[in-house]
Amino acid sequence: MEHFSNDFFQVDLYDQYAILTIHENVDFSLNRASILRDKLKKHYESKGFIMISHRKFEHKTSPEVYKQGVLDNMKGLAIVSSKTKERDKAILEQPLFGKSFAFFSTLEEAKAWAKSFF
């Protein structure tokens, strides 16, 4: 496992999935997402992986991140939160992501879903 953290987010990179936690009140723009993209490209190269977004904190994600910031080898996106507000946000984000998309209450459920792809 490889760990990376900065002022905007932290990410843990495993063999089959990455767990992303965006910090509180961050506006996750395409520029900020490009830092994450670079880490993902270096770690996974062309190997398929699942992104797990662990939504511990409230933040905003720019629609541009979905439109221009998704790597081709990202096979799916799992949103993890126990908050109804985050589930509602995820429902609005889902049409922006053209691949497998799921919502979970726990990180363990999301990890199991991610592993089912491989």
Q: Where are the domains of the chain?
A: 2-115
Please give the pLDDT value at position 68. Answer: 87
Please give the pLDDT value at position 10. Answer: 98
Does residue 67 carry a pLDDT above 90? Answer: no
Q: What is the mean pLDDT of residues 16-33?
A: 96
Please give the pLDDT value at position 81. Answer: 96
Does residue 69 carry a pLDDT above 90? Answer: no
DSSP code per residue over 22-60:
EPTT-EE-HHHHHHHHHHHHHHHTTS-EEEEEE--S--E
Report whether CATH 3.40.50.450 matches the domain 2-115.
no
Please give the pLDDT value at position 32. Answer: 95
Q: What is the mean pLDDT of residues 18-45?
A: 96
pLDDT, one tens digit per residue, over 72-108 is 999 999 999 999 998 899 899 999 999 999 999 999 9
Q: What are phi and psi of 40, to 5 degrees?
A: -65, -45
How far apart CA 108 and CA 25 sit, in angstroms, is 25
Q: Average pLDDT of the chain?
A: 95
User: Which percentage of the chain shows pLDDT scores above 70?
Assistant: 100
Please give the pLDDT value at position 113. Answer: 98
